[in-house]
Amino acid sequence: MGVDILLTILTVVFALMVVFSKKTVVSAFALLMTLLCLAMIYFQLGTVFLSAVQVLVNAGAIAILFVFVMMLIDLEQFPNNRERNKIKLVISIFTILIIMGVLALIINNNIDTLTVINLSDNSMKALFEKLYNTYYLPFEMATVLLLAAIVACVVITNHRKDDDSDNEGADKGVHP
């Protein structure tokens, strides 16, 4: 029981840091920690596979991507605490209150029925078999989506300009 609360507190603290930290790089590392805490929660809930995938894909790769971008773009000139729009603030707070209220209602009404079912040890195998049989088509479509993403990223990022003027100061990082 204690571990639940500890992990929750850790996650909440890091999540708050993501949103309210002044430096974007700090936010990115806080996001990494949040994702790792979530992976620990998945581990505690017994879904070791999802926990490992979370660490490998989300925490391992996505966060690296963020950090790389932050190193590419000189973020010292882009602080993320610009003056905020008052109307947006009010609207967002209202939205959040409504969402919180609805969620609290749902959770409070159903909390007794939400007991933990211990899935059997073979649940992993069952999960995978479902993935490659019942969800065969969505899975293949997801790979097509990945292909589209690969093509898009290369095309967007890798276009070469003939004038190198805006690339000034870029460091090749290669031995001449």
* Distance in Å, CB of 10 to another protein, minimum: 10
Q: Which of positions 94-113 make contact with another protein (CB under 8 A)?
A: 95-96, 99-100, 103-104, 107, 111, 113
DSSP code for 60: I
- The encoded tokens of residue 34 equal 């949040």
Q: Which of positions 22-81 make contact with another protein (CB under 8 A)?
A: 24-25, 27-29, 31-32, 34-35, 38, 41-76, 78, 80
* Distance in Å, CB of 162 to another protein, minimum: 14
One-character DSSP codes across 91-121: HHHHHHHHHHHHHHHHHHHHTTT-PPP---T
Q: Measured between alpha carbons, how far is 172 from 170 in angstroms, rounded to an integer?
A: 6
Largest CA distance in the chain: 67
Q: Per rule CB under 8 A, is residue 17 in the interface with another protein? A: no
* Distance in Å, CB of 9 to another protein, minimum: 10
Q: Per rule CB under 8 A, is residue 13 in the interface with another protein? A: no
Q: Which of 13, 105, 109, 149 binds another protein (CB under 8 A)?
A: 149
Q: Measured between alpha carbons, how far is 138 from 130 in angstroms, rounded to an integer?
A: 11
Q: Per rule CB under 8 A, is residue 128 in the interface with another protein? A: yes
φ, ψ of residue 172 in degrees (nearest 5): -65, -40
Its sign, for the CA torsion 34, 36, 56, 174, is positive
* Distance in Å, CB of 168 to another protein, minimum: 8
Q: Which of positions 78-97 make contact with another protein (CB under 8 A)?
A: 78, 80, 82, 84, 88-89, 91-93, 95-96
Q: Measured between alpha carbons, how far is 133 from 126 in angstroms, rounded to an integer?
A: 10
* Distance in Å, CB of 81 to another protein, minimum: 9
